[in-house]
């Protein structure tokens, strides 16, 4: 089922920043998970952040909308094309 696959909705330099975003999404009823790109064995390209926030595909559009309205000053969510 394509709706059960996680989709990245933001990438952050620190786990702390990602946890704030995760908590915000959960407050809106969207289950969010953190994926540490560095510890996960992925090669981090220069300029990319290390912790990705993922949500179920069915919630990705809502999550991106919520994060685009965020005034917390954290990094902008990176959206995959």
Q: Confidence band (pLDDT; 50, 70, 90) for 37? A: low
Instruction: Give the number of other CB atoms < 10 A from CB of residue 51.
Output: 23
What pTM was estimated for this model as a whole? 0.69
pLDDT at 78 over 70: no
pLDDT at 44 over 80: no
What would the two tokens of residue 29 be? 């009823």
pLDDT at 79 over 60: no
Contacts for 60-68: CB closer than 8 Å, 24+ residues apart: 60/7, 60/9, 62/28, 62/30, 63/9, 63/25, 63/28, 63/30, 63/32, 64/9, 66/24, 66/25, 66/28, 66/30, 67/9, 67/10, 67/21, 67/24, 67/25
């Amino acid at each position: 089922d394509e709706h059960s696959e996680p989709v990245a909705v933001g990438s952050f330099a620190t786990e702390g920043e990602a946890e704030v975003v995760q908590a915000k999404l959960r407050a809106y009823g969207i289950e969010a998970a953190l994926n540490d790109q560095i510890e996960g064995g992925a090669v981090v390209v220069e300029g990319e952040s290390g912790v990705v926030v993922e949500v179920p595909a069915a919630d990705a559009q809502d999550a991106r909308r919520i994060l685009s309205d965020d005034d917390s000053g954290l990094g902008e969510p990176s959206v995959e094309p």
